[in-house]
Amino acid sequence: QHNELNSFLWTIKRDPPSYFFGTIHVPYTRVWDFIPENSKKAFQQSHIVYFELDLTDPYTISALTSCQLLPQGENLQDVLPRDIYSRLKRHLEYVKLMMPSWMTPDQRGKGLYADYLFNAIAGNWERKRPVWVMLMVNSLTEVDIKSRGVPVLDLYLAQEAERLRKQTGAVEKVEEQCHPLNGLNFSQV
């Protein structure tokens, strides 16, 4: 039953109450109908909303992009075994070839083109650290491509908070997310 779903909402009992809501990084349309009303009501009634990162801040996006890059002068070809690099390159060529057929008419109607989308997701892939390339490859599926253009839940909520003129902030800095991932060794990745 919809009213019995786990809302991932915790309430801190004070006056006024505070709420802690666990989100997931998927297009919000995949989960919105399954978010219980108590969570939506808590969001609507809140005046201040903090997110993991401020995804509406251009600095955050720029810093996230920068932290994914290998040190200056290094390329992925230098750090990956030759066979893995070759397989990755072939797979990305396949994805680029398939992307036009994966896109929806709605995406095309909004001016989203396969080449643009591929470059937005995979552009500069040869300069990225292996862990970020792995995450990128995991998002290059037909289902994920069809949902591009739809904000992930965190971004959707941040955009809604701005629209509703709520005060917003972030509990983490980009470096707090980047450094642990960049610290993984090759076998961990």
Top pLDDT among 127 and 185 is at 127
Averaged confidence pLDDT in the chain: 90
- For the ranges 10-19, 102-111, 128-137, 140-149, the one whose mean pLDDT is highest: 128-137
Q: Is the pLDDT of residue 35 over 70?
A: yes
Q: What would the mean pLDDT of 13-27 be, rounded to a whole number?
A: 86
- Give the integer Cα–Cα distance in Å for 137 and 91: 9
The answer to whether 18 touches 12, Cβ cutoff 8 Å, is yes
Q: Give the Å distances, CA to CA, from 60 to 149, 159, 175, 180.
A: 19, 15, 10, 17
Q: In angstroms, how far is the first alpha carbon of the chain from the final one?
A: 39
Top pLDDT among 188 and 106 is at 106
- Give the integer Cα–Cα distance in Å for 75 and 176: 24
pLDDT tens, position by position, 37-53: 889 999 999 999 999 99
What ranges do the domains of the chain cover? 9-183
Kindly state the tokens that stand for 130: 């292996």
Q: Is the pLDDT of residue 84 over 70?
A: yes
